[in-house]
Amino acid sequence: MKLLRYGPAGDEKPGILDAEGAIRDLSGVIPDITGAVLSPESLAKIAAVDIASLPKVPGSPRIGAPVTGMKNLVCIGLNYADHAAETGAPIPKEPIVFLKSLNALQGPNDDVVIPRGSVKTDWEVELAVIIGTRAKYVSEENALEHVAGYAVGNDVSEREWQAERGGTWDKGKGFDTFGPLGPWLVTKDEVPDPQNLAMFCDVDGVRQQDGSTRTMIFGVKQLVAYVSQCITLNPGDVIFTGTPPGVGLGKKPTPVFLKAGQVMKLGIAGLGEQQQTLVASS
């Protein structure tokens, strides 16, 4: 299933994509797409609904983040061997874990706001893992049992605030609008191998990232298990799993960063695409 949320920001309704790519209204079945509806039992009930009987949503509504009400937006740094190489960083011995502010979360096609004074705003296409059942001290063997599905994420980053302004990556990663997610949550039954997904990011129509989840250092199973050792993962929580090479910071001989008016387009095979326009902070 491809679950989504549509409508004005703060007033989204739950939806599901039908076989023809049309949005069907799920609000008569569930109140919203939160962690409470992502358990295997709840997803099975949604899957049993006759999608064709649901009201078709007219037009092209705004798409919001496909899940709401999470407690944690966890991110993993330097998790692709080829991305670590382009930045000159050593391969991590353990996952690099940081948190993104929940204020960063937004719809997949909403504008991304460049922070005041920023000169190093960067793009990062990422596979996002959405948790379906509580995960605490889980094993790698059982880790995927706690996953509801996957989505496209953009871990937008301000590199000066991340690396040059003292302490922790969180500051450079957590600006408002720096976490576009979606367009939909694809349930894990439709993603048989999350470690074999092609992914891309274009800026103004020019391909910048062209990678695959095959080059992850720590796979989805490892990440869910590892993070659950230090952070209890609740239903609806999201893990951004790292980015492949091609970020602006890694461009040679001179890094390249985003400016107002530019457009990012990114996607992952089977999970859809998203697009954001960069705007200057007011």
Where along the chain do its domains lie? Answer: 2-63, 73-280
Measure the CA–CA gap between 70 and 44, rounded to whole angstroms.
Answer: 21
Residue 202 identity:
D
Q: What per-residue confidence (pLDDT) applies to 81?
A: 87
Q: What per-residue confidence (pLDDT) applies to 249?
A: 92
Measure the CA–CA gap between 200 and 207, rounded to whole angstroms.
Answer: 7
Query: Which residues, other chains included, contact 133 with Cβ-Cβ below 8 Å and sequence gap of 6+?
Result: 38, 39, 40, 145, 146, 148, 235
pLDDT (tens, 9 = 90+) of the chain, 282 residues, equals 999 999 999 999 999 999 999 999 999 999 999 999 999 999 999 999 999 999 999 999 999 999 999 999 999 999 998 888 887 778 899 999 999 999 999 999 999 999 999 999 999 999 999 999 999 999 999 999 999 999 999 999 999 999 888 878 888 899 999 999 999 999 999 999 999 999 999 999 999 999 999 999 999 999 999 999 999 999 999 999 999 999 999 998 999 999 999 999 999 999 999 999 999 998
**Strand-pair category, 112-114 with 272-280:** parallel
Nearest to 275 by CA among 149, 164, 125, 173: 125
Q: What per-residue confidence (pLDDT) applies to 34?
A: 98
Reported CATH class of domain 73-280? alpha beta
Q: What per-residue confidence (pLDDT) applies to 11?
A: 97
Query: Which residues, other chains included, contact 272 with Cβ-Cβ below 8 Å and sequence gap of 6+?
Result: 2, 108, 151, 152, 182, 183, 184, 186
Query: Which residues, other chains included, contact 59 with Cβ-Cβ below 8 Å and sequence gap of 6+?
Result: none
Query: Which residues, other chains included, contact 165 with Cβ-Cβ below 8 Å and sequence gap of 6+?
Result: 171, 172
Q: What per-residue confidence (pLDDT) applies to 84?
A: 80
